[in-house]
């Protein structure tokens, strides 16, 4: 049976759902549905060089289409390899939208590499250092300068009045306790997973929409991750999610079409 959220009706459903959800205190967001692309170059065909090139093109495509955040997650790379790819990623974003990109680059777990390549922040696991410690290190390491217009509200997905040198800090969470801990030391938002069953991971038990709804009552924006498709994204927003995080949704589809259907 086709999903009632599929096709042309999805964008309208999401607009209504997000407008309703974010009237609710205490952390009502005043900007658009957040979109969070998590990279995995190993899903692209070819050798390492071809995969890297395909990933950088997909990152540029995401930037041109207005995806808010790109998490460079390539966990199998050495520190030196990740730094090289991070530099290339930052260049790709800036070249894709010179002087006007609101897309933020977050480096997976490596604050040192994020600072070295002038990324916009880091994505932490629930067992990494506290977000407050990241901010302290970032102040000492200078961090990335704000891109023009990145602090404005609207479709950029960015919170207004963000400090120019402040990093964006996201945290992966898998329980209510993880979310509460991330909120306490000052993460910007959390990515909560897995909401739905993930393709290729049948042994990973999804938490479901009711758990997501409960998590979204925490005083921090929550992005839904895990098995997210165009057919079920609206259910996540209706449950209270501030946005959608995904790998395959962005890597395996035309991103312009994904963004249009989610935000249209």
Measuring CA to CA, how many Å separate 226 from each of 88, 100, 191, 242? 27, 30, 10, 15
Q: What does the alpha-carbon distance between residue 179 and residue 170 come to, in Å, rounded to a whole number?
A: 11
pLDDT of residue 57: 98
* pLDDT tens-digit profile, the chain (264 residues): 333 334 444 444 444 344 433 333 334 334 479 999 999 999 999 999 999 999 999 999 999 999 999 999 999 999 999 999 999 999 999 999 987 788 999 999 999 999 999 999 999 999 999 999 999 999 886 555 533 333 333 333 333 333 447 899 999 999 999 999 999 878 999 999 999 987 776 777 999 999 999 999 999 999 999 999 999 999 999 999 999 999 999 999 999 999 999 997
Burial 130-144 (b: 16+ CB within 10 A, else e): bbeebbebbeeeebb
User: Measured between alpha carbons, how far is 258 from 260 in angstroms, rounded to an integer?
Assistant: 5
Spatial distance between the Cα atoms of 20 and 15, rounded to a whole number of angstroms: 9
Residues 228 and 195: beta-carbon distance below 8 Å? yes
Q: What is the DSSP string of 205-233?
A: PP-HHHHHHHHTTSSS-EEE-SS--TTTH
pLDDT at 143: 53
Tell me, what's the pLDDT at 152? 35
Q: What residue ranges do the domains of the chain occupy?
A: 9-263
Q: What is the structure's pLDDT at 167?
A: 95
Give rounded-to-5 percent helix, strand, coil for the chain. Answer: 40, 15, 50
Q: Which CATH architecture has domain 9-263?
A: Alpha-Beta Barrel (3.20)
CB atoms within 10 A of CB 153: 14
DSSP tag of 74: -
pLDDT of residue 77: 98
What is the per-residue pLDDT for 98? 86
């Amino acid at each position: 049976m086709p999903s009632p959220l599929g096709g042309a009706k999805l964008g309208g459903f999401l607009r209504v759902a997000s407008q309703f959800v974010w009237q609710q205190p205490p952390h009502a967001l005043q900007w658009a549905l957040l979109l969070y692309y998590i990279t995995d170059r190993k899903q692209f065909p070819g050798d390492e060089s071809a995969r890297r090139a395909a990933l950088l093109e997909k990152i540029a495509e995401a930037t041109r289409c207005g995806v808010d955040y790109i998490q460079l997650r390539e966990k199998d790379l050495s520190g030196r390899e990740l730094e090289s790819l991070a530099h290339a990623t930052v260049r790709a974003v800036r070249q894709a939208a010179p002087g006007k990109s609101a897309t933020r680059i977050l480096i997976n777990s490596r604050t040192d590499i994020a600072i070295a390549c002038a990324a916009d922040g880091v994505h932490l696991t629930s067992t990494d250092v506290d977000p407050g410690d990241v901010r302290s290190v970032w102040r000492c390491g200078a961090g990335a300068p704000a891109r023009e217009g990145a602090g404005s509200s609207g479709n950029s997905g960015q919170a207004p009045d963000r400090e120019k040198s402040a990093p964006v800090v996201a945290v992966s969470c898998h329980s209510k306790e993880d979310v509460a801990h991330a909120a306490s030391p000052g993460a910007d938002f959390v990515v909560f997973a897995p909401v739905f069953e993930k393709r290729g991971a049948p042994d990973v038990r999804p938490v479901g929409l009711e758990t997501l709804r409960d998590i979204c009552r925490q005083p921090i924006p929550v992005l839904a991750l895990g098995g997210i498709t165009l057919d079920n994204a609206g259910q996540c927003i209706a449950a209270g999610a501030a946005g959608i995080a995904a790998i395959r949704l962005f890597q395996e589809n035309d991103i312009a079409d994904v963004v249009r259907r989610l935000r249209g």
